[in-house]
Amino acid sequence: MEKFKYDARDKAGNSVSGIEQAANRNQVLSKLRQSGLFPINIEEVSGHNIIIKKNKLRLNDNETVFFTRQLSNLLDAGLPLAQALNLLTNQANNPKIKNICSKLYTKISEGGYLWEALGKYPDVFSRAYVGMVRAAEMGGDVESVFSNLADFIERKKEVKDSVISMLIYPVIILLVGMGTVIFLMTFIIPKMVFMFQEGDIALPVITKLLIGASMFLADYWMGLIIFAILILGGLGKIYSQTKNKLILDNFVYKLPLIGEILRKIAFARFCYIVSLLSANGMSILDCLDISRDVLPNKMLKDSVDAIISRVKSGSSFSVSMKQETIFPLVMVDMIAVGEQTGRLEKTLRKVADSFDKQIKEDLRRLLNVLEPMIILFIAFIVGALVAAVLLPIFQFNLQTF
């Protein structure tokens, strides 16, 4: 008999963990289900040490979409799950996808569940992804879930790509401008210092400050880089602490435009995930618990925890959400209507679509503000450099004549 450590949930949605003795994992699964528990993860224990069998393999969004969409197409064509995975293994040119498909096929062939096999790749398949597959397997509707998952990942990728594409131009301007300034400060200005010194020119204050900054940058650039790395590392460590993370998240979400965009991205993702999970037959408690993990902000996660607590006490989803001021009233009212009409999944999808449209518009507004600000900032810095260099030359010419 071997020992297995398990994580599960009871019918009320509460987390339950423990160690069970059994001949194999399938026996543990049977025991847990007989006890009314819903298994999430099962790991073999050796002595007092847990054998971690999770893989560190990673896929980018394009690779994850390809795997999910291809599997969806094969299942829609009527192929059994094991055969579809085997076909993907043979057809995939990407070695990472081929490796994952091969492992999944082996697991399914042995009689295991797909969601358990997917759970071995936490860096590839999120908890929401695994949760949706689990609900679909339990409900016997695996074919449709992968199409929905592919849509969700593509949707998330589209928002991410929109942000990146809109920021490329201002970022390039900023990098080129700052690169020019650093080049002038490091290589050009120090050479001009000797000319000013030999000419015995009375230097203006701005020129003296420029020369001092230039010499400091040229002499201590390596130390400045190390100092910047240490500062960033220290800030990262400070941010990792729960209290500081909550303070910073609250500050970021209150920033004009940027904070509004980040909130809407989080709201859209939250509504879409709850919609998908609910459509696959999961209880609202499980939907909220899983969707909480996709939220990037500690303040939002705490709000969802509070909603879960109220729902467990018998309150409705919309009434529980209304008590959390971070969620917009329009969103809460739409969810309330969805609950009353029994169309919560479709209502949440519409809310997510509405937020996506607002995000694109807000990104355009942000870009319209950022571009002139960056150009003016670079122009001011370069203008100050030019003035600091030319003023002593003008003074020297005036003294000569």
Please indicate, yes or no, if residue 279 is contained in any of the structural domains. yes
Q: Tell me which long-range contacts 179-188 makes (C-beta under 8 A, separation of at least 24).
A: 180/382, 181/378, 181/381, 181/382, 181/385, 182/217, 184/385, 185/210, 185/213, 185/214, 185/217, 185/218, 185/385, 186/214, 186/217, 186/218, 186/221
Q: Is the pLDDT of residue 51 over 50?
A: no
Please indicate, yes or no, if residue 56 is contained in any of the structural domains. no
DSSP string spanning 116-163?
Answer: HHHTT-TTTS-HHHHHHHHHHHHHT-HHHHHHHHHHHHHHHHHHHHHH
Integer Cα distance of 221 and 185 in angstroms: 11
The percentage of residues in the chain with a pLDDT greater than 90, rounded to a whole number, is 5
Contact 57, 121 (CB under 8 A): yes
Integer Cα distance of 151 and 143 in angstroms: 14
DSSP string spanning 243-280?
Answer: HHHHHHHHHHHTSTTHHHHHHHHHHHHHHHHHHHHHHT
Integer Cα distance of 72 and 279 in angstroms: 17
Where does the pLDDT of residue 52 fall: very low under 50, low under 70, confident under 90, or very high at 90 and above? very low
pLDDT score of 196: 66
What's the pLDDT tens digit per position in 331-377? Answer: 999 999 998 888 888 999 999 999 988 988 888 888 888 888 888 88
Domain match, 382 and 266 both: yes
**pTM of the prediction?**
0.68
Please indicate, yes or no, if residue 220 is contained in any of the structural domains. yes
- The enclosing domain of 104 has a CATH number of 1.20.81.30
Integer Cα distance of 75 and 114 in angstroms: 13
Domain match, 94 and 194 both: no
pLDDT score of 337: 92
pLDDT score of 401: 55
Domain match, 186 and 257 both: yes
Helix (H, G, I), strand (E, B) or coil at 110: coil
Domain count, the chain: 3
Domain match, 308 and 353 both: yes
What's the pLDDT tens digit per position in 78-103? Answer: 888 889 888 988 888 888 888 888 88
Domain match, 256 and 367 both: yes
Q: Which of 40-54, 194-208, 277-291 has the lowest mean pLDDT?
A: 40-54
Pairing relation of β-strands 49-50 and 38-46?
A: antiparallel
Q: Which of 11-15, 74-78, 325-329 has the lowest mean pLDDT?
A: 11-15
Integer Cα distance of 5 and 192 in angstroms: 70
Q: Is the pLDDT of residue 398 over 80?
A: no
Domain match, 208 and 240 both: yes
Domain that holds residue 35: 2-50
Please indicate, yes or no, if residue 55 is contained in any of the structural domains. no
Domain match, 345 and 298 both: yes
Boundary (domain end) residue, out of 106, 136, 154? 154
Domain match, 38 and 178 both: no
Domain match, 65 and 99 both: yes
What helix, strand, coil percent values describe the chain, rounded to 5?
75, 5, 20
Contact 61, 156 (CB under 8 A): yes
Where does the pLDDT of residue 53 fall: very low under 50, low under 70, confident under 90, or very high at 90 and above? very low
What's the pLDDT tens digit per position in 304-344? Answer: 989 999 988 888 899 999 998 889 999 999 999 998 888 88
Domain match, 375 and 316 both: yes
Helix (H, G, I), strand (E, B) or coil at 35: coil
What's the pLDDT tens digit per position in 126-169? Answer: 877 887 888 777 767 777 788 888 888 888 888 788 778 877 88
Sheet (strand 49-50) strand order: 15-22, 2-9, 38-46, 49-50
Q: Is the pLDDT of residue 223 over 50?
A: yes
Domain match, 203 and 81 both: no
